Amino acid sequence: MATFISHSPEETSALGEQWGRAAKAGWVSGLRGALGAGKTQLVKGLARGLDVADRVRSPTFALVHEYSGGRMPLAHLDFYRLETPAAITAAGLEEYLYAPRGVTVIEWIERWLRDDQSPKSKVQSLLGRYREVRIESLGETERRITYEDLGD
């Protein structure tokens, strides 16, 4: 597991940009963190690293925003309004987890991963690589971002 301390939204975005530059089709990232922790800021940087020109915004009310035009598609999902894995399945969002066309990033991944289930056991069926990310607020602009890659 790796840890990155961000001192500003720009540093959080820059980390996401690094990840976007290294991303390959089939990668899925699950983001955990409180409201306002910087999850969407990280995704904005990731999109920039994928050369996505569109303005990235939180998909809280839309559930998913798809971005194309970069070097591969980016699907940005938000499970905040979905309480259970069954609700995620009913919304038809599992395709982004099991068969992503490009890169998939999911805010509030804990809605899909139950507390009694380790991410490793749930993501074994995912294609490609899964990155588990936690963002914690340490101060007004400072964040601790821990992440671990599972799978390929």
Interior CA angle at 131 toward 60 and 59, to 5°? Answer: 10
Give the model's pLDDT for residue 123: 58
Residue 60: count of CB within 10 angstroms of its CB: 14
Domains of the chain: 2-151 (3.40.50.300)
Span 51-77, average pLDDT: 91
Span 85-106, average pLDDT: 87
- Give the residue among 65, 14, 30 at the shortest CA–CA distance from 135: 30
Express each pLDDT in 10-57 by its tens digit.
999 999 999 999 999 989 999 999 998 999 999 999 999 999 999 998
Residue 59 pLDDT greater than 90, yes or no? no
| Strand residues in 10-142 grouped as ranges (E) | 28-32, 64-67, 74-78, 103-107, 129-137
Give the model's pLDDT for residue 116: 52
Residue 145 corresponds to which amino acid?
I
Residue 116 corresponds to which amino acid?
D
Identify which has the larger pLDDT, 119 or 143: 143
Q: Is 24 within 8 Å of 100 (Cβ atoms)?
A: no
